[in-house]
Each structure stands twice: as structure tokens, then as C-alpha cells.
Amino acid sequence: MEISAVSGSHAFPSSLLFFAVLYAFGYFFLFKKWKGTSRFEAASCLNSFFHGIVAVIFCSYDIMTNPWKLDAPNTDIENKIMDFSLAYFAIDLIYYMLINPSDYLFILHHIATSTYMSSCRYYTGHGGLSAICLMCTGEATSPFQNVWTLARMARGESPLASRIYTGMSTFFTVYFTIMRCIVAPYLAWLLGSFYFPGKADKVIPRGIAYFWMFTVILAIVGSGIWVYKLWIGLIRFNAKKKSANRNAKIQKAE
């Protein structure tokens, strides 16, 4: 087994500063009228929204321009994407640990994902395509999720936010389910069929490859829990909406 030297510029420090400034902009300016913990969460959504869009664009480009080789040396763009994403997860972890420490699913997700990427980026120097594919699949839902989340938080005070939340809920729930319960497991199967038999043993230690697959499976289980909660919430929301409409018709008839 050979572990190659890690190549590529280190974009982590500059990305860390960028997300810290972006979070501060959201907190002190964009969402300055929001109250309590919602203000912190809204700033976190801003970071997540921006990261998701940038990550999907560059991950898609990397996937389309490189051969499907899961033990290939990391490309420069893959290293930069991983640095960029690691910086985002670091800033978001600070938010969760200080403001929302009870959200164990997100905290565990961020730690597992960061461990996967950091070992791929800074230790093996290989297998970056696997991290990029997983990132692209996961972040493909992020822009919609953050708009939906912001609308959900603001729907009580903003008619526009209420309309966005109502209009997006079904689409987002179905889309999230497809990406996390169909696309992600299929990708996990592709990665597992390569890493579990030891096809990358020459450049990626078997133990690390197994750990990568463990984090992927863990993420899929966590996504399944989120999907379950989304559907429960959607069913309850639609039931409450139908009840309200029915009561309104009764009152109008009287």
C-alpha cells in the first residue's frame, strides 16, 4: 500500500474566513430583525444555502470531467472542494454546538462527513471522487431545504413566507426522499462494491475504506430519519390545512 503526498493548494483557511464573515453578515444584517435562536438558525441557513449551490456546481463539473475511478489521486479541484466544504462544516458545527446542541443528527452528520473528507483530503490523497459524489448528492437538496426552512420559520409573520412554505412542502419532501432514499443508497452500493472487496488497497488502507462506508451507511440511516419526520410533518400540515379550510367553509355558510 502506498499513500501519496497530498497535493493542491490549501483553501481551508480562506474558506473558513469566508463562511465566518457570511454567517456574521446574515446574523447582523440580513436577519437582524429576527428574534431569539431563529436569528442564529437563519444565518446558518444562509451559509448552508451558499455552500450547497457552490458545492453542487463544482462537484458536478468534477464528476462530468473526470473518469469514474474511485482510487484515483485527488484532483486539485477535488481538494479545493473538500477544503471549502470542511470550512463550512466547521463553522456550522460551532453554531450547533453553541446554539443548538440537542440536534444530534446534524452534529453527528457534520462530524462523520468532515472525518470522511479530511481523511481523504489530508491522509490518503486518493478517492476524492467518492467524497465529491456523496457531497453532490447530499447538497443537491440543500438550496431547497434552506429556502423551505426559512419560509417555515417566517410563515407566522410573513404571508409570502407562508405561501412559499405551503407551495414547497410537498415538492421538497418528495425530492428529498428521492435523493436520500433512492439516489444515495444506489451511490453507496456503487462505492461499497468497490471499497469493501479491497479494490483500493494499494492507495487507501482497508480500515479507512471501511470507515468511509460506515459513515455513508450512517448518513443514509440519518437521512431516513429526516425523511420520516418530513413525511409526518407534511401529513399533519395537510390535515390541519384541510381542517382549517373545512371550518372556514362552514363559517361562511352560516
- Quote the CA–CA distance of 138 and 54 in Å, as a whole number: 13
Confirm if 204 and 126 have CB atoms less than 8 A apart. Answer: yes
State what percent of residues in the chain have pLDDT above 70.
Answer: 92
The model's confidence at residue 4, banded by pLDDT at 50, 70 and 90, is very low
- Domain region containing 24: 12-253
Residue 123 lies in a domain: yes
Model pTM score: 0.90
Q: Is residue 187 part of a domain?
A: yes
DSSP letter for 180, please: I
Asked whether the predicted pLDDT for residue 245 surpasses 70, the reply is no
Whether the predicted pLDDT of 74 surpasses 80? yes
Q: Is 185 a domain residue? A: yes
Average pLDDT over residues 204-227: 94
Is 2 part of a structural domain of the chain? no
Q: Is 147 exposed, middle or buried (0-12, 13-18, 19+ CB in 10 A)?
A: middle
**236 within some domain:** yes
pLDDT score of 2 more than 50: no
Computed over every residue of the chain, the mean pLDDT equals: 91
Is residue 179 domain-resident?
yes
User: What is the 3-state composition of the chain as percent helix, strand, coil, each rounded to the nearest 5?
Assistant: 80, 0, 20
SS3 letters for 216-227? HHHHHHHHHHHH
Predicted confidence (pLDDT) per residue in 76-127, tens digit: 999 999 999 999 999 999 999 999 999 988 899 899 999 999 999 999 999 9
| Cβ-based neighbours of 66, under 8 Å, separated by 6 or more | 72, 75, 129
Mean pLDDT, residues 203-211: 96
The confidence score (pLDDT) of residue 237 equals 85
Distance, CA of 38 to CA of 48 (rounded, Å): 15
Cell of 198: 479491497
Q: Answer whether residue 149 shows pLDDT above 50.
A: yes
Q: Measured on CA atoms in the order 210, 216, 220, 226, is the torsion positive or negative?
A: positive
Residue 3 resides in a domain:
no
| pLDDT score of 252 more than 80 | no
Question: Is 1 inside a domain boundary?
Answer: no
Our count of domains for the chain comes to: 1
The rounded distance, in Å, linking the Cα atoms of 120 and 99 is 29
How many C-beta atoms lie closer than 10 Å to residue 4's C-beta? 11
Find the mean pLDDT for residues 178-194. Answer: 96
Contact (CB, 8 A) for 81 and 53: no
Distance in angstroms (rounded) separating the CA atoms of residues 217 and 194 = 15
